[in-house]
Structure 1
């Protein structure tokens, strides 16, 4: 069956409304950040760590505004939902949102971290530990939704399998940092470098993944 690829950049071009909402979002983030710095009386040594969460949130907002999943059938929608849920749970586990519980059950609490990092909802229990940082929660939900959109759009084609591999890039860097710290030792320069750059590389990978999931080859004919 003949298939055509649409590589148009229109999928990435923001609309006027999207730009207006983005401007409002960025202004709100700036106000919240300066308010936090004044009220918390903290000293910032690495400003990029204040920016990273907003990159995740803003890119997520842009992607969600442009996403418009359309299913050919109810079966395809169910399959897409199952893949998206499984993918989100994978990201939540690898990204540290969900971890196995421990011996101490402290219950629910809120960590007042810088905007984007917090306010983080934390739960410590005997069965499971939760660390729901806003930027990660929003980012992982966005990736899962885009994977859902992708499954619907590429149902029946080999492209969906390739996207599944590409989309996992965004959760790989925390794993690399953890393994580096475990193998090399937490006091070594290798572990320190891996930990320091994991957020930068993870953010770049997240942006790239969102772009690839939005600007993907569309299949004109389906098997």
Structure 2
């Protein structure tokens, strides 16, 4: 029996129904954006920042709609789920969705201390960025922007599907390496602004372009994980 790797791009080709739903989604996003700009009375200086969240959301919807994980055993599903959840937590922490709570920063309040607002609140940001659900507590702080929540969940789901597909394969090590390298790109892009120090010109440039780099890394990662070469056996 011989094994080959199928590297065809059939998984990336949208069908007619997908294109129709994509058109409806884009039209809805345009309506929401223009409505927000009119009602919020804001001035936009960088239009790309309005576009970035929709790139994340649209790619996520496309990838989720076209991915159906299949597993040979319950153990494989459990292993895949554990890896996906760990990756999701890592992305949430590095991407700023999840942070240690006030107790870890010495802001517990009390006598002689500072009182900080705790609990839930909503930030009415531009579509995709918001409405963002914010939570501040003693153990954890959350900043749940819609586009990041959808995007990170999608990446974790694609990692889960990749683990299920490559489990037990003779070339799973090779595919796993490709997948893991691509999965680190969003993490690397998010950390790029902090590597050179906040006071340098390099850091300022990295910070200015961090959203662009992050969006590019996200798009490439989704495409790679969705396209992942499949393994076929022949006698």
Q: TM-score, normalised by structure 2?
A: 0.89
> Aligned pairs, how many?
217
Rounded Cα–Cα distance in structure 1 between residues aligned with 2:39 and 2:195: 37
Does residue 23 of the first structure (1) align with residue 23 of the second (2)?
yes
Does residue 208 of the first structure (1) align with residue 216 of the second (2)?
no
Does residue 13 of the first structure (1) align with residue 25 of the second (2)?
no
Rounded Cα–Cα distance in structure 2 between residues aligned with 1:197 and 1:169: 15
CA contact 2:198–2:204 (8 Å) conserved in 1: no
Match of 2:45 in 1: 45
Q: Which moved more, 1:110-119 or 1:124-133?
A: 124-133
What's the offset of the Cα at 1:184? 4.6
Q: Which is higher, the Rg of structure 1 or of structure 2?
A: 2
Over residues 57-80 of structure 1, what are the superposed CA-to-partner deviations in whole Å (9 max), with x where a residue is unaligned?
000001011001111111111111
Query: Could you say what secondary structure the match of 2:143 adopts?
Result: strand
What's the offset of the Cα at 1:101? 1.3
Match of 1:87 in 2: 87
Equivalent of 2:130 in 118, 123, 128: 118
Match of 2:207 in 1: 195
Equivalent of 2:179 in 163, 177, 182: 163
What's the offset of the Cα at 1:105? 4.3
Over residues 83-111 of structure 1, what are the superposed CA-to-partner deviations in whole Å (9 max), with x where a residue is unaligned?
11111001001110000112234211000
Rounded Cα–Cα distance in structure 2 between residues aligned with 1:169 and 1:38: 36
Q: Which moved more, 1:146-155 or 1:162-171?
A: 162-171
Query: Mind listing any 5+ residue stretches in structure 2 that lack a counterpart?
Result: 108-115
Rounded Cα–Cα distance in structure 2 between residues aligned with 1:220 and 1:76: 19
Q: TM-score, normalised by structure 1?
A: 0.94
Rounded Cα–Cα distance in structure 1 between residues aligned with 2:198 and 2:183: 28
CA contact 2:5–2:229 (8 Å) conserved in 1: yes
Match of 1:4 in 2: 4
Rounded Cα–Cα distance in structure 2 between residues aligned with 1:39 and 1:218: 48
Rounded Cα–Cα distance in structure 1 between residues aligned with 2:209 and 2:216: 11
Does residue 154 of the first structure (1) align with residue 166 of the second (2)?
yes
CA contact 1:105–1:126 (8 Å) conserved in 2: no
Equivalent of 2:191 in 166, 169, 175: 175
Structure 1 residues 111 and 184: CA distance shift in structure 2, 3 A = closer
Query: Could you say what secondary structure the match of 2:135 adopts?
Result: strand
Rounded Cα–Cα distance in structure 2 between residues aligned with 1:198 and 1:29: 23
